[in-house]
Structure 1
Amino acid sequence: MGTDSPKIAIWWSNTIFFAATHVFAVWGAIYWRPIHAVPTQSLVLALLVWQLADFGITIGYHRLYSHRAFRAKFAVRVVLAALGSAGFQGSIKWWCLRHRLHHRFTDSIHDPYAATRGLFYSHMGWIFYKPTYERMELVDREDLDSDPVVRFQHKHYVPLALFFGFVLPTLLGTLWNDASGAFVWGGLVARLAIWHCTFLVNSLAHWDGLQPYSDEDTSRGNFLLALLTGGEGSHNFQHSFPHDWRSGPHLWNWDPSKWIIFLLNRLGLVSGLRSVREEDLKEAMQYMHFKETHGVPPAEDDTSWEGEAWDLVRAHDFIKLKPGSCLVVIDDYFVNVTPYLGEHPGGAALLRKYSVRPQQEFIEASWAFDGGLNNHSRSARRRMREFRVARFQR
């Protein structure tokens, strides 16, 4: 007697809303309010809605909240939450948790929109199925739960999205006597533009483009994508150094989002801009250049150690001498990650969870570091080795 195969549950509310929006947008733009029959103001409104909502996603949902690449004043967070709501991509909390899961387990079965499951699935196929995220509980969310803007937007997301996404564009259209045209173009058509340009980051940016920083996952850089997404084109850089406030580190990288963040920083509205170290950036590029021209470089020796060997007593003495320090155990080494607490993409609280503490049991971080909690990159492993202080003598 055979066993039943697991059934895939369709997410009907998502599917119906997604399909209906496409149908009405196409019908409205072709038959009801075609482009030649609407005032220029309605078309400009559609462009503005698309771009502003896009910045709400790229600057707010992505760089500020998902990767904590900078800090923002309350007013800026409110504006970004409103703009992101107009994007109709879920609440900040909903979006960020899935994006953090995507970065931790890129291309694996735990990736919500894994490119390894096909171009259509990574683009929008994942939207149609009710998810079962087995490792979602491993994703940190304390920062999201503690932010009043995130909590308010998450609780009232549906009315906020409907207002900023559909009602407000329609009301603005009454200013030039074209409420219906503003609804079709500023509400429906702009919605498709926002959706599919964002979805291209999950699909096209993992299928076609350059990999100048790493080839450890499918992420790629694509200039066309940068033009369509407010600067999210250097996706290979973003996966290699997710905590950076820029999508592209160079002046020639098209990234309006980083220019806006820079301006807000100069105005004192955002602070704490986090950037990859220049030496890490150069090393990554040199490694990939060598690999492309000469083949895979020799593996770095990860076993040689000429430093000290500590037991737990010695480790506890170190912590007592330096209160507040964060000492973790990774692959039989004591690693002093204290200088890295402010840079860690997963946040300081996650590192302190594995910290060695006097007179307390501790959890070794090896499982978490070696793929259990995050698929760490070669660059991250190199950085970790810099913080080793002693071999663990058990």
Structure 2
Amino acid sequence: MGITVGYHRMYSHRAFRAAWPIRLALALLGASAFQGSIKRFTDDPVHDPYSATRGFLWSHMGWIFFKARYERMKSIDRNDLDRDPIVRLQHSFYVPLALLTGFALPPALGLLWHDPIGAFVYGGLVARLLTWHCTFLVNSLAHWDGLQPYSDDNTSRTNLLLALLTCGEGNHNFHSFPHDFRSGPSTFDWDPSKWVIILLHSLGLATGLRRARDEEIRVAREHMLLKEIAQAHTDGQVVGSDSTTGSEEECEDWQGQVWTVEQLAEYACGKGRCVLLLDGYAVDATEYLAEHPGGASLLRRYAVMSETLKLPGNSPPPNRSGARNADWAFYGGINKHTMAARRQMRRLRVAQVL
């Protein structure tokens, strides 16, 4: 639970907030798993779903023996971790905390039934090994075998056997909605971690539980079902994700406002406003800042600045910082966004920019 509820859902995906006693307990449980501190886990590139494209063995544990550089990780907003005293404390004293909770505590408890050695072997060594490989399987098996009911934009899959082993983390394809505190929308999805979070919420110890909209989930499932039908009608010829990526919204007739660059500049100068120029549309992401999985600062980095848009004549804004088009970042430069993210982007449009 320290890994699934704490490290993964609360800190990596910011799916909910918890009171400090719960954060402390989850930090100690996470340390006992010997998977690094919270800071190391949340900036670990192995938890990027695209790393699975390097092969099963690599994504399972081959990455451990290499130290690669992932420049895009610097773009992720980690201010919430830097401000959390429990995260800082755990990071500073991670090694003694891990040794104490993972190796010293099991034999100490084993003294209660006069078998400290057995408790050390099974509660310490064997338990750590099993925990490691369950996590490794999420990075490998969950990208190799299973169903894709929500998206095939990446390699993540839903695997029931793995879900049973990992308290719900095997329902990996639901990562199409990365901010959701659940790993599946149904009551019957095997997800003990979800029920722990709901219990904490009912006790007033967890707040801000985030869910994907039912409409988003329904549309995603319908899209994948239609894609399966299309593949069946083409005699096995794969209809790849690229057929629906990019500017699929170009097929739509925009019925909203049409702005000039000057009007965009006037709108963007509103206090605290975050406006992106994406696919030729002004996208007001102000209300979405707190929900963005990559953090608010990443969105603001690509927001248009009204000062740089106030150019002489009617020339379009230059492609430079403050007025740059966010297409590059949105369509793979920083992250290849899922279809759910693209639909969210379209909902936030306020005008077409000419």
TM-score range, shorter chain: 0.7 to 0.9
- Asked whether the 8 Å contact 2:47–2:139 carries over to 1, the reply is no
TM-superposition CA deviations, 1:132-151 (whole Å, max 9, x none): 22322222222211211111
Q: Deviations over 1:160-205 (max 9, x none)?
A: 1111110111211122221111111111000011101111100110
1:1-394 to 2 correspondences below 5 Å: 55-98=1-44, 102-103=47-48, 106-107=49-50, 114-238=51-175, 240-295=176-231, 296=239, 299=244, 300-302=248-250, 304-320=253-269, 322-359=270-307, 362-364=322-324, 365-393=326-354
CA contact (8 A) 2:158 2:173 kept: yes
Letter in 2 for 1:324: G
Aligned to 1:35: none
Aligned partner letter, 1:228: L
Task: Please tell me the residue identity of whatever aligns with 1:362.
Answer: G
Report the CA distance between 1:258 and its aligned residue: 0.2
Provide, for residues 213-248 of structure 1, a one-character-per-residue CA deviation record: whole Å limited to 9, x for no partner.
01111111011111100111210012x111100011
Residue 363 of structure 1, CA deviation: 4.6
Contact 2:6–2:30 at 8 Å: present in 1 too? Answer: yes
In the alignment, what sits opposite 2:314?
none
Tell me the distance in 2 between the aligned counterparts of 1:67 and 1:280: 18
Q: Distance in 2 between matches of 1:96 and 1:363?
A: 30
Residue type of the alignment partner of 1:314: Q
Deviation track 1:357-383 (CA, whole Å, cap 9, x = no partner) reads: 433561532221111111101121121
Counterpart amino acid of residue 75 in structure 1 = P
Aligned length: 328
Distance apart, 1:348 and its partner CA: 2.2
Deviation at 1:325, TM superposition (A): 2.5
Letter in 1 for 2:201: N
**Structure 2 gaps, min length 5:** 232-238, 309-320
- 2:313 corresponds to which residue? none
Q: Contact between 2:156 and 2:172, CA under 8 Å: does it hold in 1?
A: yes
**For residues 347 and 80 of structure 2, what CA distance do their matches in structure 1 show?**
28
Equivalent-residue separation in structure 2 for 1:207 and 1:59 (angstroms): 24
SS at match of 1:168: helix
TM-score w.r.t. length of structure 1: 0.79
Q: Secondary structure at the match of 1:324?
A: coil
Matched residues in 2 for 1:199 and 1:168: separation? Answer: 24
Partners of 2:307 and 2:68 lie apart in 1 by: 41
**Secondary structure at 2:2 match in 1:** helix
Unmatched runs of 5 consecutive residues or more in structure 1: 1-54, 108-113
How many Å separate the matches in 1 of 2:263 and 2:179?
Answer: 33
Whole-angstrom distance in 2 between the partners of 1:355 and 1:129: 36
Identity, % of aligned pairs?
Answer: 57
**2-side partners of 1:291 and 1:319: how far apart?**
39
TM-score (norm 2): 0.88
Q: What is aligned with 2:235?
A: none
Once residues 261 and 298 of structure 2 are traced to their aligned partners in structure 1, the CA distance between those partners, rounded to angstroms, is 21
Q: Given residue 259 of structure 2, which amino acid in structure 1 is its aligned partner? A: W
- The 8 Å contact of residues 3 and 30 in structure 2, kept in 1 or not, is answered as yes
Query: How far, CA to CA, are the matches of 2:342 and 2:55 in structure 1?
Result: 29
User: Following the alignment from structure 1 to structure 2, what is the Cα–Cα distance between the partners of residues 350 and 210?
Assistant: 32
CA contact (8 A) 2:181 2:194 kept: yes
1:235 and 1:250 mapped to 2: Cα distance? 14
State the shift of 1:126 in Å: 0.8
